Amino acid sequence: MSEPSLSQQESCRSRTISSTEDPKRAAMTKVHPNASPAVPPSYESESPCGSGGKPAEAVVFTVWRKSLLFNGNGFTVFDAQGNLVFRVENYSAGSRNEFVLMDAAGKPLLTIRRKKLSLGDHWLIYNGDESANPQFAVKKRTNLWLSKGMARVTPCTSGAKACLTYDIVGSYSERCCAIYDHNRQQMAEIKRKESAQGIALGLDVFRLIVELEFDSSLTMAIVIILDQMFGFRGFLSRG
């Protein structure tokens, strides 16, 4: 599967929608998947923001970079039927080095922590709310000019297979990137979301497309880390 070219990344750029409606109501209309024709649970896999690739089933999520609980910073994730699946709440400005990915009921699924005393942007992913035995590490590429990848995901557990290593390629800032496994097969993709009229909803709302064999909670944890690495000053880190 081919990696995203500059022209493909350029195709991700489109104008954003404006609204004079009540902000909260307008936002929910834009974000909620049922506000436009329902997205089927299967999807024809493509290269990031381009065409081609073999057909494969995948699950489509709508990601909103906003907390519904406190109407502030965070993430709220819906499935194709409009059901709440994941959420992340930023309770205080002091939590900029640790985030918890929860299910709809608030149960911790994964905890994400910035690695202490490390060179570069390096994050660790733990099961539940554990503070020991990280499962994965995500490290930002030190030289993006020489490397096509943005970041690499590697397993932390001893004896882990090489197939659990993943590369992230593309541009998160343009919401046009994908996660590839060691065989260069696409496991997940981030794409801009459009309204029923074909108008882009802006960078705070996007689609997350995950292959069935890939862990969707791990994918969302990677999205949170990418937002810290490549978002404007780290979205969740703002007080």
**Tokens at 71, concatenated:** 């109407």
Q: Considering the entire predicted model, what is its pTM?
A: 0.75
pLDDT in tens, 213-232: 999 999 999 999 999 999 86
Give the Cα-Cα-Cα angle 93, 95, 101 (nearest 5 degrees).
Answer: 125
pLDDT (tens, 9 = 90+) of the chain, 239 residues, equals 445 544 444 444 443 333 334 444 445 555 554 433 333 333 333 445 554 444 457 999 999 998 877 666 789 999 999 999 999 987 555 567 899 999 999 999 999 999 987 777 899 999 999 999 999 999 998 775 656 789 999 999 877 776 789 999 999 999 999 999 999 999 999 999 988 777 778 899 999 999 999 999 999 999 999 999 998 644 444 43
**Tokens at 7, concatenated:** 């022209």
For the chain, domains (ranges, CATH) are 6-237 (2.40.160.200)
Q: In the prediction, which pLDDT does 30 show? A: 54
Residue 214 has φ and ψ, to the nearest 5°, of -105, 145
Q: Which positions ≥6 away from 120 have C-beta within 8 Å?
A: 139, 140, 142
